[in-house]
């Protein structure tokens, strides 16, 4: 009995929260300047990526971008649920938290760095630069323009996370392709 009550408390709270979000989104976000701006960021990121991506390595780069998107979505949603930060504007009212950045900008930038930097050394330098730009230029800009509101968060907290993520995902994709190569060699023998 208690069990059922507990679930329904969460369900009721969720109902209220979703209602509030959709309401606010309809009144203040949808078709407003900020909303078009986010759509623009999304489209621009996607376009630039399509232009720059090495078509002959498309499966590999897309896999990298996809893994980045999954991890970003999870971290971002967790941060929002823990009220570490908040996104006052969004393309769509419900999940994902900041679609334009989570699903487009971040995965596209990460995967392009992966594509251009073929050795660990260049990759690490590029990642360091990217993390610095994200933490100390981009995030303050997002806060200033009221797309992002850190609650219990500091810009530099993100710094190690951006770097760890980049290293982990590169390692993973390389590993995946190494396993495939090994499998093929075994078959040929």
User: Using CB under 8 A as the criterion, which residues of the chain lie in contact with other proteins when the complex forms?
Assistant: 2-3, 6-7, 9-11, 13-18, 20-21, 23-24, 28, 54-60, 62-63, 66-67, 69-70, 73-74, 77-78, 80-83, 86, 88, 94-96, 103, 149, 151, 176-177, 179-180, 182-184, 187
- Least distance from other proteins to the Cβ atom of residue 117, Å: 19
Minimum CB distance to other proteins, residue 6 (Å):
5
Among 134, 90, 86, 136, CA closest to 109:
134
- Nearest CB to other proteins, comparing residues 7 and 137: 7
Q: Of the two residues 131 and 169, which places its CB atom closer to other proteins in the complex?
A: 169
Instruction: Quote the least distance from Cβ 27 to other proteins, whole Å.
Output: 8
DSSP bridge pairs for 150: 85
Give whichever of 96 and 158 is closer to other proteins, judged by the CB atom: 96
Q: Which residue has the tokens 């929002």?
A: 80
- Nearer to other proteins by Cβ, of 49 and 131: the residue is 49
Instruction: Report in angstroms how near the CB of residue 112 gets to other proteins at its nearest.
Output: 16
CB of 124 to other proteins, least distance (A): 23
Cβ proximity to other proteins: between 86 and 137 the closer is 86
């Amino acid at each position: 009995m208690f069990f059922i009550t507990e679930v329904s408390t969460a369900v009721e709270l969720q109902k209220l929260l979703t209602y509030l979000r959709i309401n606010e989104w309809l009144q203040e976000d949808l078709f407003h300047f900020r909303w078009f701006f986010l759509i623009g960021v999304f489209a621009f990121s996607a376009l630039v990526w399509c232009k720059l991506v090495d078509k002959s390595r498309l499966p590999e780069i897309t896999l990298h971008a996809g893994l980045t998107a999954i991890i970003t979505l999870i971290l971002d949603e967790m941060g929002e649920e823990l009220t570490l930060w908040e996104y006052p504007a969004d393309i769509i009212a419900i999940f994902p938290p900041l679609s334009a950045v989570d699903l487009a900008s971040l995965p596209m930038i990460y995967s392009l760095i992966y594509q251009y930097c073929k050795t660990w050394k260049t990759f690490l330098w590029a990642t360091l630069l990217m993390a610095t730009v994200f933490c100390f230029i981009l995030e303050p800009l997002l806060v200033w323009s009221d797309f992002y509101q850190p609650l219990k968060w500091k810009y530099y907290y993100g710094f190690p996370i951006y770097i760890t993520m980049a290293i982990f995902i590169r390692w993973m994709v390389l590993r995946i392709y190494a396993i495939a190569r090994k499998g093929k060699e075994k078959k040929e023998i």
